[in-house]
Amino acid sequence: MKIKLMQSFLKFVIVSITTLIVSITSVFAAGVSILAVWGGDEEAGFRQLLDGFTAETGIAYTYEGDRDVQEVVKQRLAGGNPPDVAIIPRPGEIAALAKAGALVPLSTLLDEDYINANYGKAMVDLGMHFGEFYALPVKASSKSTFWYKPQSFKDLGVETPDTWDELMAIADKYLAAGKTPFAMGGRDGWTLTDWFENIYVRVAGPEKYHQLFVTHELEWTDASVVEAMGYFRQIVDPDTKIMGGAEGAISTGFIEGMDAMLQDKAEMYYEGGFMGGIAKQNFPNLTCGKDYSWFTFPSINPEYGKAIMGGGDFAVAFSDTPDARAFWKYLAGEKGNTAWASAPKGAIISVNKNVPLDVYSPCIALEAADLAGADILVFDGSDMATPAVGGDAMFVGLQDFVADPDSVNDVLEFIEDAADNSY
């Protein structure tokens, strides 16, 4: 009898322990895992949204930030442990994941009517792949911001330029005054792709832009590309317009280029709106709107009006769970986006149109308004191109072009070869 009682007791203990383990495992397994490209201040800003989500729902989250998010995604997928949500900056990479069947369509997780009503069509369309909505745009930025120092312009007696000819006239006036017009962060090849893309959409328009970068219906040796490179050449040839000349242009990093302008080593610097956050971090005693500011990249062909090249980050889903569904609703909603946009660090421009402009700092509010008021809005071309073109051939080719502008034909043939083999 005692033996049977002992056996029953042990069975009860084992069952109880097993139940406890299952319960604990369930607790720790619950929640949402998020992988994103952001660290530092950007991560701190995004955590304002994440913490708001947990406070409202009681659902825990884990966050991992990595600049090489695409590679981490590949490794996690290969290991069978993808995150619930990943935030990726390149639509081309997202298309590849969708094609491989790795993603959960967002039509199963989000109210598409809400998305279509409250998000800009141009950005939403970038999340469409193979006829399905796979990627929610969660962060936007203008890559058509040309940085300058208002006092320097005032001292020179010039206004911010609206046209390319006006920009070149300002550059000439700075040269005559013994000052260097431009800094260029060409060591990071993607900055040169941004230069070219801004010029190209203003020369050739959005249709050819799409044909060149997305579908490759247009060859890189096309007359429109040659024409755009001619405008780019006006910046880099003669190289006296650039800090350090051609060698300086391709040996200067993108942060160093902005720093150089703020340290009066050059008078203007082109790169996206995110440089404002870097300037704030590196030069906290300087004020955006007073000590430095930006104007919209000048127009070239009047036919295309105020064209803006935008960048952004997109959220994709690898799982469909109740907790993940709750997160997607909060991520897309007005409350979460407003909290994120108003974060003192890592401020972003939300793609949700319900976020009021007054939550942004003055310079970011101008950028948000510029994006909203664009006549033409295109996404970063190199991010939509195949990695072999947008991440390799363009980087190398445009660096070669800056070093030797006479190499333009060889450069375009080089990029075209990469395109032929990768589309």
At 180-191, the pLDDT tens digits run: 999 999 999 999
Tell me what pLDDT residue 126 has: 86
Of the CA atoms within 13 Å of residue 212, those in its CB half-sphere come to 30
* 184 occurs within a structural domain: yes
**Residue 348 in this model has a pLDDT that exceeds 90:** no
Same domain? For 158 and 300 the reply is yes
Same domain? For 111 and 46 the reply is yes
* 9 occurs within a structural domain: no
Residue 65 belongs to domain spanning: 33-142+311-374
Question: Which whole number is the average pLDDT over 341-352?
Answer: 83
* 27 occurs within a structural domain: no
Same domain? For 153 and 88 the reply is no
Query: How many Cβ atoms sit within 10 Å of the Cβ of residue 254?
Result: 23
Q: Which conformational region is residue 69 in: left (phi greater than 0), alpha (psi within -120 to 50 degrees), or beta?
A: alpha
Over residues 136-192, the pLDDT tens digits come to: 999 999 999 999 999 999 999 999 999 999 999 999 999 999 999 999 999 999 999
DSSP 352: B
Q: Identify any residues that bridge with 128 across adjacent strands, giving them in sequence order.
A: 133
Same domain? For 105 and 221 the reply is no
pLDDT band at 101 (very low <50, low <70, confident <90, very high): very high
pLDDT band at 29 (very low <50, low <70, confident <90, very high): very low
Spell out where 173-306 has E strands.
Answer: 182-183, 268-270, 293-296
Domain count, the chain: 2
Same domain? For 127 and 164 the reply is no
Same domain? For 98 and 76 the reply is yes
Same domain? For 37 and 134 the reply is yes
Instruction: Give me the count of residues in the chain.
Output: 423
Give, for 411, the enclosing helix (H) or strand (E).
helix 408-420
Q: Where are the alpha helices (DSSP H) in 119-239?
A: 121-125, 150-156, 164-176, 189-210, 223-236
Tell me what pLDDT residue 346 has: 64
In this prediction the pTM is: 0.79
Same domain? For 54 and 199 the reply is no
Same domain? For 195 and 157 the reply is yes
Over residues 283-334, the pLDDT tens digits come to: 999 999 999 999 999 999 999 988 999 988 999 999 999 999 999 999 999 9
Over residues 44-98, the pLDDT tens digits come to: 999 999 999 999 999 999 999 998 898 999 999 999 999 999 999 888 889 989 9
Tell me what pLDDT residue 369 has: 85
| CATH number of the domain that residue 69 is part of | 3.40.190.10
Query: At a CB cut-off of 8 Å and minimum separation 6, what does 162 contact?
Result: 298, 299
Mean pLDDT, rounded, of the chain: 90
Question: Which whole number is the average pLDDT over 221-235?
Answer: 98
Cα 302 versus chain centre, distance: 27
Same domain? For 297 and 346 the reply is no
